[in-house]
Amino acid sequence: MKTKIHVLLVEDDKSICSFITTSLSENGYRITCALTGKEGLSLAASLCPDVILLDLGLPDMDGCQVLMQVRTWSRMPVIVISARTKEQEKVHALDLGADDYVTKPFGTSELMARIRTSLRHSHINSPERIYKALDLEINFEKRLIFLRGEEIHLTQIEYQLLTLLAEYSGKVLTYRFIMNAIWGPYMDSNNQILRVNMANIRRKIEENPAQPQYVFTEIGIGYRMLENENI
Amino acid sequence: MRKRIQVLPKFQQHLYSLVLSVLCMAAAAGISSAYICASPGNSANVPLIFAFFLALISCCTTGYVYGVLCSLFSVLWLYIIDTRHSCHLDLSPAGYPVTILCMTAITLLLGSLTSSLAKQSASLAERERLLAEAEKEKIRANLLRAISHDLRTPLTGIIGNSQAYMDHHADLTEEEKLALMTNIFEDSSWLVNMVENLLSITRIRNDDMAISTSEESVEEVIGESLQRMQKRHPSCRIRARIPEELIMLPMDAILIEQVTINLLENALSHSGTDEPVELIVENHPEWVSFTVRDYGSGLPDSLLDHLFDGTDYSASHTADGQKGIGIGLVICKTIIDAHQGTLAGRNHGHGAEFTFTLPKKKGTYENKNTCSVSGRR
C-alpha cells in the first residue's frame, strides 16, 4: 500500500486550518495542524512531514524564523502562505529557502498544484535532460530549443536564463536568485538587465508577449516557468 | 525674501536680520566714503546710496527695529562725513531733523509694505492648503460612502444565504444547498476583490499622496494582470495589443495592475456582451496610454460626468442591481492621480472605453510637491 503524503500545516487561524484539512484529506493527504510556530517546529522535527505549509503571520514568532530554523537541519519543501500586498515578505521568505508561496485568499486547486510541484522537485535526483511544455521543447544536453518543432536561437545569456527557469519549472524564482545565478553576486542590484533579457526571450518564444504562455511574471517577486510535462 | 526667512525660527530670523543690517550699513558707509574720496566735490549722491541700502534692509529684515536703527546710523554717518571732510553736502546742520525724518519714513513705509505683502501671501497659501485639504476630505468621504454601501450588499447576501442553509438544511434538496453555497462563494469572492482594492490604496501615503515607484516593464504588468483575470474568470476573452518595443515606466506595479484589473473587470461584467474586451497599450513620446475597450452597451449618459467621484452613484447602481463599479473607479482615479497620470471614460460608438496614461518621466508637479514638503519640515 502506498503511504499517504504527510503535510504539516502551521497556521493560527482555525477556519483556514479546517478548510485546508478537509480539502487535503479529501484528496488523499495526511495532514497535521500546528497552531503556533513552536508547535510547528517540534512537529516538523518529530513527524518529518513531506511538505510544510507555513503561515508567515504566527502569534508567537515570525514565520520566517520558523523557516530559518527548519532550514538549519532539513531541505524538506516549505510552502509559505502570505497576504497579497506584502511582496517584500514573500521575497524574503523565498530568499531564506522557502520553495514556493501561495497568496491569501487561495483556492484548493491552487494549493494542491503547489504541493504537487514542490514534492516533484524534492524527489528529483538527476536533473532532467529535456523540458517540454505545450509547443516548447528544451534539450539541455544538446543545448537546443524548439518551438513547434522549429529551432529557436537565443543569445548565451538568454539561453542560460531560460534553462535556469526551465530547470526549476513550476517554481517561482526571485530576481535576486536569478541575478546571482546568471550574473554572479557582484552585479549591482538593479535588475534592469534581467528585464531586458526576459523581454527578448518573450519575443522569441511567446506568441503575444502581453499574454505569455511559458514564462510568467510575479510582480515584485520574480518569474515562474510553466511546469515541465516531461517529469 | 521676507517670506523665506519667516520659515526660520525666531532667533535665527533676528540673527539673519542683524547680520544683514550690519553688512548693508558697512557697505553703504564704505561705498559712500570711497565715492567722496574719488570725487570730493560731488557728494549729492551719498544720501541716495544710504537710501538704497535702507530700502534693502527694510525689505529683508523682520520688524521695523532694524530699519529705524539703521536710518539713525545713516544720519550719524552722513553727519560724520559732513564734518570730517567738510564737504558741501546739501544738508545744513539745521536740516538734520528733516533728513532723519525722511529716512525713518522711508524705512517705516517700506517695512510696513513688505510685511503686509508677506502676510497676504501667507494667508493665500493657507487658503490654498485648506482648499486642498477640503478636496482630500471630500474624496475620503466619497470613498467611505461608496465602501460602506458596496460592502453591505455582499455581506447581506452571505449572511442571508448561510442563515437559510443553517435554518432549513434538513428540508433543502442538494441542488438548493449547492445554490446557496454558490451564492456565498460568489459574494465572498467579490468581497475579496473589494478588500484587495482597499488594501492597494493603503500603499499610497495618506498625507501627500506619494507612492514609491520603480522602473517596471509594461508588458510584465499587463501580462500578470491578464493572468490574474484568467484565474478569476477562466472563460473571459481579452485581446491584448502592446507595442513591439520594451517599455519601462516608473510606477507602483501592484497599483497599476489593480487599475488594469478593475477596468477589465468592469468591462467584462457591465458591458452586457460576450464580445472580447480589448486592452491596448500605446507608446507616446511623453507618456504611455492604456485603453480598455468593450463592445457592449456603453456607459449611460447620466453616469459620464460622475464616473470617478463616487457620488450620485449608489442610486443608479442599486436600481439596476449591479455591484459597484463605483468604488473600483474611484480607486483607479486615486491611483492614477498619485502617478500624475490621467484617467478618462467615454463611449466610442460601439461600447465603453476607459483610457489611462502614465508619464514617462516623473511630472514636474510632483517635484514641486516634494520640494514644498521638504521645505516645511
Residues B4-58 have pLDDT tens digits of 555 667 778 888 888 888 888 888 888 888 887 777 666 677 778 888 888 888 7
The b-or-e profile of B299-334 (16+ CB within 10 A means b, else e) is: beeebeeebbbbeebbeebeeeeebbbbbbbbbbbb
What is the predicted pLDDT for the residue at B5? Answer: 58
| Nearest alpha-carbon partner for B220 in A196, A156, A182 | A196
Measure in Å the smallest separation between the Cα of B164 and chain A Cα atoms: 21
Higher pLDDT residue, B256 or B153?
Answer: B256
Answer whether residue B222 shows pLDDT above 50.
yes
Question: What residue of A is the nearest CA neighbor of B201?
Answer: A85
Which CATH code fits A5-123?
3.40.50.2300
> CATH assignment of A130-225?
1.10.10.10
B281 touches chain A (CB under 8 A): yes
Among A53-62, B209-218, B226-235, B362-371, the least confident range? B362-371
Average the pLDDT over B210-226 and give the result: 88
Q: What percent of chain A has pLDDT over 90?
A: 37
A8 pLDDT more than 90: yes
Closest in A85, A198, A217 to B224, CB measured: A217
Q: To the nearest whole percent, how much of chain B has pLDDT over 70?
A: 82
Does position B201 have pLDDT exceeding 50, yes or no? yes
pLDDT digits (tens, 9 = 90+) for A171-219: 899 998 999 888 888 877 678 889 999 999 999 999 988 889 999 998 8
Report for B45-54, B166-175, B313-322, B360-369: range of highest mean pLDDT: B166-175
| Candidate from B241, B248, B253 with C-beta closest to A219 | B253
Is ipTM over 0.85? no
Output the pLDDT for position B107.
77
As its CATH architecture, domain B211-376 has: 2-Layer Sandwich (3.30)
Predicted local confidence at residue B375, as pLDDT: 33
What residue spans define the domains of chain B? 2-130, 211-376
Per-residue pLDDT tens digits for A87-138: 788 888 998 989 898 888 888 888 888 898 888 877 665 566 788 888 999 9
Residues from A contacting B (CB-CB < 8 Å) are 84-85, 87, 105, 192, 195-196, 198-199, 202-203, 208-212, 216-220
Contact A84 B222 (CB under 8 A): no
**Mean local confidence (pLDDT), B68-91:** 70
List, as ranges, residues 248-267 from B with C-beta within 8 Å of A. Answer: 248, 253-254, 257
Q: Chains A, B: CB contacts under 8 A, how many?
A: 60
Asked if the model's pLDDT at residue B321 lies above 50, the reply is no
Between these two residues, B284 and B82, which has the higher pLDDT value?
B284
- Among A171, A174, A26, CA closest to A109: A26
- Check pLDDT > 90 for residue B254: no
CA distance B260 to B62: 54
B-chain residues near A213 (CB < 8 A)? none
Q: Which residue has the higher pLDDT, B281 or B309?
A: B281
Model confidence at B317, pLDDT cuts 50, 70, 90, reads very low
B280 contacts B348 by C-beta, under 8 angstroms: no
Q: Give the gap in angstroms from C-alpha B23 to the nearest C-alpha of chain A.
A: 51
Tell me which DSSP letter residue B86 carries. Answer: -
User: What is the model's pLDDT at position B46?
Assistant: 77
Q: In whole angstroms, how far apart are CA B342 and each of A94, B111, B250, B287, B338?
A: 36, 45, 15, 10, 10
Q: In terms of Cα–Cα distance, which of B319, B312, B152, B251 is closest to B329? A: B312
Q: Where are the beta strands (DSSP E) in chain B?
A: 214-217, 238-241, 248-251, 277-283, 287-293, 342-347, 352-359
* Of B293 and B203, the one with more pLDDT: B293
C-alpha torsion B177→B178→B182→B183, nearest 10: -30
Given this model, what pLDDT does residue B318 score?
Answer: 42
Q: Which long-range contacts (CB under 8 A, 24 or more apart) does A103-111 make?
A: A105/B192, A106/A81, A108/A19, A108/A23, A111/A20, A111/A23, A111/A24, A111/A53
pLDDT digits (tens, 9 = 90+) for B239-250: 999 998 889 999
What was the pLDDT predicted at B84? 66
Mutate to test the interface with A, among B229, B246, B259 (most CBs of A within 10 A): B246
Hey, are the CB atoms on B253 and A210 less than 8 Å from each other?
no
Determine the pLDDT at residue B127. 92
- Residue B262 and residue B197 in contact, taking contact as beta carbons nearer than 8 Å: yes
Rounded-to-integer distance, Cα A34 and Cα B303, Å: 52
Mean pLDDT of chain B: 79
Average pLDDT, chain A: 87
Residues of A in contact with B196 (CB under 8 A): 84-85
In the structure grid, which three cell numbers stand for residue B179, read together? Answer: 445554490
Q: Which residue type, as a one-letter code, is found at position B329?
A: L
